[in-house]
Structure 1
């Protein structure tokens, strides 16, 4: 049987404030007190994996060992059908690091533009179907771990729309909607997102009866 989380603190292995906020909101009903790896001053490990699962486990294990607390890591990305699934696990790498007001961040508009440029080169008939993948990995300092995978399908839209969400959200229109993830109310996005899909599986195993 998979090890379960108790109440108390959980390290969220991210330096991304948007991701921390989203994950914390999903875990709050279960009495979990989330703190980010960034707030603890933990270094970001090199994401050398070739899959979302491998990278999520790398981040979760590094945070759990460094903090000596259970840690949860999210590895997620956008895959585009016409680009043979790219950028995929390299979604964040396509957003080159920049400096904004003294803090290092990523240029997501640049990343979205790269995808659009490649789709434009493929011609007007290019398949704009795409999907977000999310893997949630929990690791304990003692070495135990658990993995949960989620997905949501949609269409790549241009130009970017909306100022909510983060990453590629402004160009992703989920199936059955007209609005991008960045235009949807956060509660609505939480109900249908790839992260929500993975979290539903996590909750069922970690907090279910």
Structure 2
């Protein structure tokens, strides 16, 4: 059985991007957030990257409970995997996310990153996988986006999930995985049409993002 990740899906959704530059600042920020949530030392990393310290402070202002929750209620960079059945073959979709488990049976995914404060296809894939993995009604999940920027203030965006979005995302995933399994002589961007806004770390220069009101 094939296992695919968000990175694998991105290579099909954006086939013309043969080489994706590594966003080291984003990587350092994710590492610093993980260490902070796990109560591990971050001083060397923050000393080397002062900008990250400001982003972590902004996360604390946008969503203070991020630094108050502890395992097993709050899992940082946790892995979920869900089976996607297609006519050709079964595939497992694997994601990493941050998840809060509430006592009322609801789950809140939290994504912090230097990014646009809008829902994109990878967010929807994460919601779909989490819903399937946890065997919960789609309405029991929601996503909180903490969108940070090098110069503008960070934004918090709350996303509700429902059965319609869940089914649409599943159908989209099936179409993408089917395309991935089909040999393509000349990859072109139009081969996989996404009904969702395509926004990944490689799709834009974060320094050029304008401040967006939401």
Tell me, yes or no, whether TM beats 0.5.
no
Q: Which has the higher contact order (CA 8 A, sep 6+)?
A: 2
Relative to its length, the structure with more helix (as a share) is 2
What TM-score do the two structures reach when normalised by structure 1?
Answer: 0.31
What TM-score do the two structures reach when normalised by structure 2?
Answer: 0.31
